């Protein structure tokens, strides 16, 4: 599917907000982890460093944007629970249907 200019523009506008919301969730998880008094500080430090290193590569944190990959990027963001299908309500019906079709195919 060839994505419309409107959908491409909307994706670029929304992605940073989606990622910010996802990272807020990560930070809350980190805080909860760091507040766990059952583990030594050194264990928490190294585990947090490992977790951040892994999370930095997650599409909810960083993503290369390509117009030709938008549909697949959106599908991936939904599968990884960065966004929900309802977050696509401002996009064209055509884009929403294509995303829905792909998601249903892989169930």
pLDDT tens track for 42-99 = 999 999 999 999 999 999 999 999 999 999 999 999 999 999 999 999 999 999 999 9
**Exposure letters 73-99 (e unless 16+ CB within 10 A, then b):** bbbebbeeebbeeebbeebeeebbebb
CA distance 40 to 50: 16
Backbone angles phi, psi at 82, to 5 degrees: -75, -40
| pLDDT for position 99 | 96
Is the model's pLDDT at 107 over the cut of 90?
Answer: no
Residue pLDDT, tens place only, 17-51:
999 999 999 999 999 999 999 999 999 999 999 99
In the numeric block, which tokens belong to residue 19?
A: 């990622």
Using alpha carbons only, give the angle 17, 22, 25 rounded to the nearest 5 degrees.
130
User: CA-CA distance, 70 to 105, in Å (whole number)?
Assistant: 18
How much is the mean pLDDT over the chain?
94
In this structure, the number of other CB atoms found within 10 A of the CB of residue 58 comes to 15
């Amino acid at each position: 599917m060839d994505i419309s200019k409107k959908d491409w523009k909307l994706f670029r506008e929304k992605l940073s907000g989606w990622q910010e919301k996802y990272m807020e969730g990560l930070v809350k998880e980190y805080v909860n982890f760091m507040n766990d008094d059952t583990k030594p500080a050194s264990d928490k430090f190294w585990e947090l460093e490992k977790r951040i290193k892994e999370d930095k590569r997650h599409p909810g944190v960083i993503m290369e944007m390509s117009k030709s990959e938008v549909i697949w990027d959106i599908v991936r963001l939904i599968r990884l629970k960065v966004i929900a299908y309802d977050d696509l309500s401002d996009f064209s019906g055509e884009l929403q249907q294509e995303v829905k079709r792909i998601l249903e195919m892989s169930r």
